[in-house]
Structure 1
Amino acid sequence: MAKRPASSNGHGDMPLERGGKPETLEEAPLLDERLFFPQQTVKPTSQTTRSAPIAKSAPANVEAHYHGHRERLRNRYRDGGDAALADYEILELLLFRLIPRRDTKPIAKALLTRFGTLGGVFGAPVGLLTEVSGVGDAVALDLKLVASVAQRMLKSELTGKPVLSSWKSLIDYCHAAMAHEAREQFRLLFLDKRNALIADEVQGFGTIDHTPVYPREVVKRALELSASAVILVHNHPSGDPTPSRADIDMTKTIIDTAKPLGITVHDHVIIGKNGHVSFRALRLI
């Protein structure tokens, strides 16, 4: 029988009580298999006595049950693709890798309950992800890594292509990158004479409902990059992409500053959780 391993932080952390005392394996959920090594021992301390309970592995029937469940879920995904699985099952399937020896269904459901959608889960900051029981820093960082891969994949669809003729790809990328940000973010997409993307830069972050924007800095950066056009993008953390009076006035100021220098503002896009607004489509440009 394995002795109780020392508690640690990261993938599959053993649950800790508020006082920092690790639970026994009999009290805790199923262990992360990366912590379960029979040769690992715990050095005696003043709190360790011979009467302390000996750690035991999960009952064979319980272990067989969740291993069987995982195999069935993998088979469903292999045979039917993502359409064969609910959102929580897709997330559960990913968590299999991140938390190998624990029932991850409750964690997947808790993440979706907290953040609403898969986009909300992957867009959430690490600090909020770790507030969900069962999600440690390492798991949260792995979830953010998946989000980064998705964003780069979407951005790759824009590289070297005329952005104005790849509008859906542009919106998909901006939505993935910005829709679930907790603060306003102001992003600049700089274009060359063919309207191909040459730079994608975040100029600044603001509060939940305001980002300071400096028109001269926008134009200065466009000149440094030899950009002939720019698309302005920012998000509304409230979820409603409707432009405010301040958004409209700021856009006009940037246009008036850029135009004499031969720089065109093609559009200003506002991203919300469930949609977007184009100033050009609204005839505000």
Structure 2
Amino acid sequence: MTIKHTREGALEEARPHYIGHRERLRERFVTGGGAALQDYELLELLLFRILPRRDTKPVAKAMLERFGSFSEALGAPPHLLEEIDGLGPKAIADLKVILAAAQRIGRDAILNKPILGSWGEVIDYCKAQMAYEATEQFRILFLDKKNRLIADEVQQTGTVDHTPVYPREVIKRSLELSATALILVHNHPSGDPAPSSADIQMTRQIADVAKPLGIVVHDHIIIGRSGHSSLRGLKLI
């Protein structure tokens, strides 16, 4: 922190150079909303409160340079975020709180709605939840007879390229929740959402076990950083 003399000769702390920048950035957000800011600027706004005594512009730019996008920066694993100068355990925990809040908002956007009529929001929600996970997750959206969301649960977590899935466990949980329809979702940490032969086989096995019990598998969505794929859309189920 620099020191300067006042006219009276007393010493006072000079305001950090970035304070004026912060105020201007806040004003732009208040006036124009998030659309008025670039990604690194919106990330700066978040970091203001997490790192109040630090110039956050270089931190925000370093995060975007390292991870590629706003979403990937928030979704990056903690051990990689620690490589960014200025981000310690507390700051990273605060970023993950912000991410969890955004994911909760996405969940609420599809809650109590007919899922099949809100497909774009479903995809956005799944991307927010899973696109940037470092390991595979297999989750299920359980639906009632009106195709409204009953529950969203991660059933299994695996390695970087494999998650064990047991059809009987999927059906058992469906019956416990009185679900009449399912949407299966998993991520490919490699980034490529193309389904593998194992993905297709597993989906068909679950559908075959579910059908006699009156449970419909609407789709199996695969999420990657570069996009998503739908087995139903690809006519694979």
Matched, 1:202 2:154: yes
* Cα distance in 2, alignment partners of residues 249 and 101 from structure 1: 54
Cα shift at 1:278: 0.8
Written as runs of structure 1 = structure 2, the 5 A alignment for 1:176-255 is 176-255=128-207
- Structure 2 length as normaliser, TM-score? 0.93
Matched, 1:280 2:224: no
* Cα distance in 1, alignment partners of residues 141 and 200 from structure 2: 18
* Cα distance in 1, alignment partners of residues 16 and 92 from structure 2: 27
The residue type equivalent to 1:127 in the other structure is: H
Cα shift at 1:274: 2.3
Cα shift readout 1:192-249 (whole Å, capped 9, x = no counterpart): 1111110100001111111100000000100111111111000011111000111111
Give the aligned partner of residue 8 of structure 2. none
Written as runs of structure 1 = structure 2, the 5 A alignment for 1:1-285 is 57-59=1-3, 63-285=15-237
Question: Higher helix fraction: Structure 1 or Structure 2?
Answer: 2
* Cα distance in 1, alignment partners of residues 26 and 104 from structure 2: 26
Q: Point out the structure with max Rg over C-alpha.
A: 1
Distance 1:146 1:268, change over 3 A: same
Point out where structure 2 has 5 or more consecutive residues left out of the alignment: 5-12
Q: State percent identity of aligned pairs.
A: 63
Cα shift at 1:64: 4.5
Cα shift readout 1:87-137 (whole Å, capped 9, x = no counterpart): 111111111111111111111111111111111011112222122110011
The residue type equivalent to 2:163 in the other structure is: T
Question: Higher strand fraction: Structure 1 or Structure 2?
Answer: 2
Q: How big is the alpha-carbon RMSD for the aligned residues of Structure 1 and Structure 2? A: 1.3
The residue type equivalent to 1:276 in the other structure is: H
Counterpart secondary structure, 1:157: helix
Counterpart secondary structure, 2:15: helix
Point out where structure 1 has 5 or more consecutive residues left out of the alignment: 1-56
The residue type equivalent to 1:196 in the other structure is: R
- Structure 1 length as normaliser, TM-score? 0.78
Cα shift readout 1:257-279 (whole Å, capped 9, x = no counterpart): 11111111110000111211111
* Cα distance in 1, alignment partners of residues 236 and 223 from structure 2: 16
